[in-house]
Amino acid sequence: MDLEAHFPLIDAVDHDILMYREAHFGGQFSIMLDYSLKEGKGMLPEFDRARIERLARLEEELKHNLAPLVLTAHEVQKIADARDAYRKLRAIYERPSGKSHLPRLIADLIFAEDEAAEEEIAAIVAEKGGIVPLLIDLLRSEEFYDPLFPGYGQAPFLAVKALGRIGDKRAIISLFEALGQGDFFGDDQIIKALKAIGKPAQEFLQHVVKGRPFNEDNEKAAIALLEFKDEEGVASLCFDLLRQPDVQLNPCLATYLALSCAGLKDSTAQQAFEKLSHSPHLSRSLREDMKSAMLDWHRDL
């Protein structure tokens, strides 16, 4: 059979499927297809079952493993790295239990097939502050954000849930740094974890949002402060910043600050905010965001 005639049919998603199979399913399409029937959390939405079956048939026709035929050297190395991560995690279970109690709980969390992993998280939270450094290490580990690695890219956000429930302020900086590394759902979990930590997280975010010169950290802090908008001093700080001309020229930052002003309680501050919302030098979108914030005041009446 002419191999060249088939390879143009293999696109980037097919490469990802082959890499996924090699990393997670021992290089066996049969195991991967069985897993897809169970609707396990590790099966990515873009991996259509019909596409996997097509690749399996092609491999059967060729009587040759597709992976070494089509994957690049870089892709092969990533598979090797993912398999090595699996090996290291499994080795934790081979250590004497007294020496690997906490690492074993982290490995359990990574290997959890239940998306919520409530049982694994409960066991971790019971350890309180003692396990926080290991959770922070998991949160900071870039490889575990990659679906090719153990945990299918979801392990860091399970660590986020655990850190939020423990509420240890040592996690604040690492949680903040993780914002923007995943999807919207992941960021939402991180912000909820920061809120759960409470006053120390609030004070950290207030310090960051005021920083100069403006950068991505200001915007991230402003987004996270939305969760704190009803806490004392947060809405007032956001309004003070919003009054500054250079802030008004920063559309994303200004929007998030304006929305946090929904937490303004003082009538004088509310009147000043409403007056500012009519300023012609503000962008139309910012004025609309400010009107949206003011609607919340009336809902609270």
The residues of the chain that CATH labels 1.25.10 are: 199-299
Residues 189/193/194/197 CA torsion (nearest 10 deg): 170
Residue 228 has pLDDT above 50, yes or no: yes
Mean pLDDT of the chain: 93
Between 50-64, 99-113, 163-177, 182-196, the lowest mean confidence (pLDDT) is in: 182-196
Nearest Cα to Cα of residue 160 among 209, 121, 217: 121
Residue 296 has pLDDT above 90, yes or no: no
Work out the average pLDDT over 69-96. 95
Task: Give pLDDT tens digits for 237-291.
Answer: 999 999 999 999 999 999 999 999 999 999 999 999 999 999 999 999 999 999 9
Task: Measure the CA–CA gap between 72 and 14, rounded to whole angstroms.
Answer: 13
Asked whether the beta carbons of 191 and 158 are under 8 A apart, the reply is no
User: Which pLDDT score is estimated for 9?
Assistant: 62
* Number of neighbouring beta carbons within 10 Å of residue 261: 28
* H-type alpha helices, 113-198: 118-125, 132-140, 155-166, 172-178, 184-197
Side chain identity, residue 176 = F
Could you please state the CATH topology (level 3) that the domain comprising 199-299 is classified under: Leucine-rich Repeat Variant (1.25.10)
* Number of neighbouring beta carbons within 10 Å of residue 181: 15
